[in-house]
Chain A
Amino acid sequence: MRRFLFTAAVLAAAALPALAGGPQCRWAHSWDEALAEAKARNVPIHVTFHKDG
């Protein structure tokens, strides 16, 4: 189990720089900024949540 966790941690750490170096989605810096820009551009908002609420 410890070996599995170690391997998973190494793989996750290795994936982070790759994620940062590849193509990147541009995220809004705040909810208000998102609303203002979506209105100015007349485009939908894509909201994604990544922690159990």
Chain B
Amino acid sequence: MDSSVYANKDFVAASKRWVNVYCSKDSGHGTEKVGDKEMCKLHPTITCEEHVACNASAGGKYFQGTFRAPATVWCKPDGTEIGKQQGSMSAKQVIEKMAEAEKVVGAGLDSDSYQYLLDKLAAGEKAATDGKTKEAVETYAGILKAMGKNPGAKAYTDKAQAALDRLTEEARKKIEDAQAAKDAKAFAKARELLKSVQVDFKGQPVAKDAEKALAEVAAAEKAAGGK
């Protein structure tokens, strides 16, 4: 199965919809250098120590005593077995069995989307921490646009929405401060606050509110100048 299944392009594409664990206590196939690490020669994204350790961790969970390898197990996210088969399987058979497991588990995230969400949420958090509000807003809004309709991404889009809501709350406070500045006839300060909201939150509803408030500042300034 190493060459017939795991290198099969259809299998590789489909495997992004699951988490894959390779278990083998055999390390006789050797290693190869990848960067500065000695990786498994059969599967260079993991080390032989890792597939040996996975075999030790998972082996006893699904088979008691001797079993015939290769063997394949498909399970729920908590490791509960859904089904298993001893003996070789084709790429198509594995894909079919895993599709059955996906139906049992429900909507989930493929590995590319998962990585995208982790990277973007981290980038948004860093931008917000660094005071780069515009970048943070664009990042969170981008997550919602790209993943908002993906039911498997809900936990992550909820995080992005909550982070965007926190930033929006800060923008609303700026608008309140601008209104207070306008009332105190500190028009330049009011404009500065409102323009920063317009720029940082471009495309967001709060930017429209800032635009309306700016018009009010302009009218108030004109009225004050006219007195």
* Residues of A in contact with B (beta carbons under 8 Å apart): 15-16, 18-20, 22-32, 34-35, 37-53
Does B219 belong to the interface (CB within 8 Å)?
Answer: no
**Contact segment of B17-25, B125-133, B140-148, B180-188:** B17-25
Chain A residues near B76 (CB-CB < 8 A) = 44-45
Q: Which of B61-69, B161-169, B200-208 contacts A (4 or more CB under 8 A)?
A: B61-69
Of A24, A27, A43, A53, the contact of B21 (CB 8 Å cutoff):
A27
Which residue of A has the minimal Cβ distance to B151? A42
The answer, among B13, B42, B77, for a CB contact under 8 Å with A16, is B42
Chain B hits for A39, CB < 8 A = 77-78
Minimum C-beta distance from B210 to chain A (A): 37
- Looking at the assembled complex, report how far the CB atom of B35 sits from the nearest CB atom of chain A, in whole angstroms: 13
A23 to chain B minimum Cβ distance, whole angstroms, is 4
Which B residues touch A43, using CB under 8 A? 17-19, 77, 102, 105, 108-110
Whether A47 and B62, one on each chain, are in contact in the complex, defined by CB atoms closer than 8 angstroms, is yes
**B173 interface hit (Cβ, 8 Å):** no
Complex contact B7–A42 (CB within 8 A): no
Name B4-20 residues within 8 Å CB distance of A.
Answer: 6-9, 11-13, 15-20
- What separation, in Å, do the CA atoms of A49 and B105 have in the docked complex? 22
**A47-B23 in contact (CB<8A):** yes
Report the count of interface residues on B (CB-CB < 8 A): 70
CA distance A2 to B203 in the complex (A): 73
With A and B bound together, what is the CA distance between A48 and B86 in angstroms?
10
Complex CA gap A44/B74 in Å reads: 7
Cα-based distance from A20 to B7 in the complex (angstroms): 8
Say which residue of A34, A41, A49 sits within 8 Å of B109 (CB atoms). A41
Contact B3 A31 (CB under 8 A): no
In the complex, residue of chain A having the shortest beta-carbon distance to the beta carbon of B65:
A53
Q: Which of chain A's residues have a CB closer than 8 A to the CB of B69?
A: 49-53
For the complex with contacts A25-B15, A45-B79, 19 further pairs of A-B residues with Cβ separation under 8 Å are A20-B32, A20-B41, A23-B12, A23-B13, A24-B44, A25-B11, A28-B19, A31-B53, A34-B19, A34-B21, A37-B114, A43-B18, A43-B108, A43-B109, A44-B101, A45-B19, A48-B20, A49-B55, A49-B63
Contact assessment for B12 and A25 in the assembled complex, using a CB-CB cutoff below 8 Å: yes
